[in-house]
Structure 1
Amino acid sequence: MAPAVRSWIHSVRPLGNFGAQTPSGTEDASLPPFIEAIADASGTKDGPLAKALALLFEASPVLYNALVPGVAAHIQTAPPVLSYSALIDVSLSVISSWSDEPKAQFISGHPRIGEVKGLSKLSEQEQAAKATPPEILARLAHLNALYERKYPGLVYITFVNGRSRAAIKEELEDKLELEHSVSVDEPLVESIVSVEAGSEEWKRELERAVGDVGKIAKSRLRSLGVEDSEAE
């Protein structure tokens, strides 16, 4: 394992929250007026820009500490950003300049596929939390553990795009080259060969996940009823 990765590889939050399903979150799932977000040069955690980015990308320490100030600085020096969709593109450009560590921390801000507790309203809607059989949730919990064994320091992220968790279960099984199953303990986690963190394969998976986070953010605009023409 690359030395630069070893110091943070175990910081991914523990697996859990795959048990009894809970009611939707109660946070305000509405974007601030675009003109307020784009005019916010403060880079602070409680400003309209931070609120918008946290809603689109999920709140996390790296979002508040790196993405918000990075986007705020970019807005002040780059050509005008004219829509929320363009703001997402700017955010992805800022993220692309980061090293692997903050990128991995950024994607970990999203809940794991199959988690049912502590979800934001938008994450719960995207994952169809109320329609998932318990055996699928249990299988997903095991698959997440297998994935995180194979890709140390990464959390499986995918653009759900209206698909059920059962469909995502099969997608994750295919990625791990496993037969479709509802087993909660096969194969054994210890049987999975890890990809070296920082290797080309690991980096490709990290970049795929970042790209899917961008797709999720664009989809959230549509869920929130925001069109580019309305945001400009």
Structure 2
Amino acid sequence: MASSSKLPPIGDVPPLTTEERARILDLLFEPSTQLHTLSVPLLHEKTFSSYNDLIAAVGAQLTDLSGSASTSDTAWLLDILGSHPRLGAKNVESVQSQAEQAQLQGSGEEAGQLKVLNDEYENKFSGLRYVVFVNGRSRPTIMEDMKRRIADSDTKNEQTGAIRAMCEIAADRASKLL
């Protein structure tokens, strides 16, 4: 790949090395050994007409894990979903997440409320992390969404929502990294 912060043309993906295909997944999603194991072969075996098609195929793999009755598949999925940083986290690994998290700057009181909501969400949905496509929404708007999801959702709905959000985030990142 020409640059570690840009995506190569989609047609150039299949012949890339395993490490380069893993880096593409890291740029689009978040660094995750489990996601590498699941999806790096897909990026070699299949040709995609666009990054949105690639993202949809990874989303289908994650949805298949979500629908599985296997506890090991569920654990695998939760590890992948958990690769996303907590909203409001200070130490964020990926450059993309750092920029996205910067949109959520707020007061110290709001940061404390967000931490409480993250804890509450993770206690209610054991093993899950709240994942949402921020897309310019304010911290108070996001916190209201968290409260609603804590009150209304069940674990399967949350898994589906997290997969959808990860794919929305990946599509947004792809549009910025081409």
Separation of aligned partners in 2, 1:87 and 1:202: 26
Cα distance, 1:102 vs. partner? 1.7
Separation of aligned partners in 1, 2:136 and 2:102: 8
**Secondary structure of 2:83's partner?**
coil
Encode CA deviations 1:42-93: one digit per residue, 9 max, x unaligned.
5x2x12x2111110011111112222124434x1xxxx41111111112112
**Secondary structure of 1:88's partner?**
helix
Equivalent residues of 1:71, 1:91 under 8 A apart: no
Whether 2:22 is the aligned partner of 1:50: answer yes
Residue ranges of structure 1 left out of the alignment (5+ in a row)? 1-26, 179-194, 196-200, 227-232
| Residue number among 133, 142, 149 corresponding to 2:107 in the alignment | 133
Encode CA deviations 1:87-137: one digit per residue, 9 max, x unaligned.
111211222222322221111111111112134221122222573222211
**Once superposed, what is the RMSD of the aligned Cα atoms?**
2.4
| Residue number among 26, 51, 58 corresponding to 1:84 in the alignment | 51
Aligned residues: 169
CA spacing shift, 1:213–1:54, aligned 2, 3 Å: same
Using the aligned pairs only, state the percent identity: 31
TM-score, with length taken from structure 2? 0.83
Equivalent residues of 2:104, 2:139 under 8 A apart: no
Whether 2:75 is the aligned partner of 1:101: answer yes
Separation of aligned partners in 2, 1:29 and 1:162: 22
Separation of aligned partners in 2, 1:214 and 1:53: 11
- What pairs up with 1:37-186 in 2 under 5 angstroms? 37-40=13-16, 44=18, 46-47=19-20, 49-73=21-45, 75=46, 80-98=47-65, 99-129=73-103, 131-177=105-151
TM-score, with length taken from structure 1? 0.65
Cα distance, 1:28 vs. partner? 4.3
Whether 2:170 is the aligned partner of 1:214: answer no
Separation of aligned partners in 2, 1:34 and 1:67: 15
Q: Which has the larger radius of gyration?
A: 1
**Secondary structure of 1:39's partner?**
coil
CA spacing shift, 1:123–1:35, aligned 2, 3 Å: same
Residue ranges of structure 2 left out of the alignment (5+ in a row)? 66-72
Any runs of at least 4 consecutive aligned residues in structure 1 with deviations exceeding 4 A, and if so which? Answer: none
